[in-house]
Amino acid sequence: MNEKTESNNLGKRFSRALGLAVEWHGTQLRKGVTIPYMSHLMTVSSIVMEHGGKEDEAIAALFHDALEDAPDATEAAKREALMRDEFGSTVAEIVLGCTDGRPSDGGEKAPWAERKESYLKAMRNKPANTLLVAGSDKLHNLTCTVRDMRREGPGTLSRFGSSASNLAWYYSEIGQILTERGIPMAREYNTLLVEFKEMLK
């Protein structure tokens, strides 16, 4: 077992972040299934740590959907301010970098394709710590998607609100960016991507 160092200890900041994540996401379920959404956030945080992330990145992983999943623009702004005040600019900037769209005052977000195209364009130049969290998020999303397709076939993709071809395009672009930037989970992600595309044929 590796000896702990100050740089990878988890403390009261992480406990506080976990509590906030439950406060913000505790009633949510993953799309089209009855799995609590917190399972995703905790898994992403775990993947981050397993690939070398420290406490700031692990906390940002718990918060990575907090802004885009806020009910409206006012709540998103409150959450961002709280993150920056309590957890620092590093955590806040990683979360902002992982956010593909924020809600309007009425709780609406831009269309799927518009958000994803903007996200991919920005992602190519994100700092490594942001890509570590984003890559961990995308790895878990793709892992769950492939698992569900193994069980139920491609029809399970209908719950995502976009076509299978659009999802294949998006997942492929993510894989290319992770590879180009040398993000640790790129190989595992791309192995799953091959299986995903094979199941669409």
* DSSP-assigned letters across all residues of 78-92: HHHHHHHHHH-HHHH
pTM given for the model: 0.92
pLDDT at 2: 39
pLDDT at 126: 95
Q: Which two tokens stand for residue 79?
A: 């959450």
Residue range 130-176, pLDDT digits in tens: 999 999 999 999 999 999 999 999 888 988 878 899 999 999 999 99
- Is 115 buried (19+), middle (13-18) or exposed (0-12) by CB count in 10 A? middle
Residue 72 is given by DSSP the state: S
The domains of the chain, with CATH numbers, are: 12-200 (1.10.3210.10)
Residue range 87-117, pLDDT digits in tens: 999 999 999 999 998 888 888 888 888 999 9
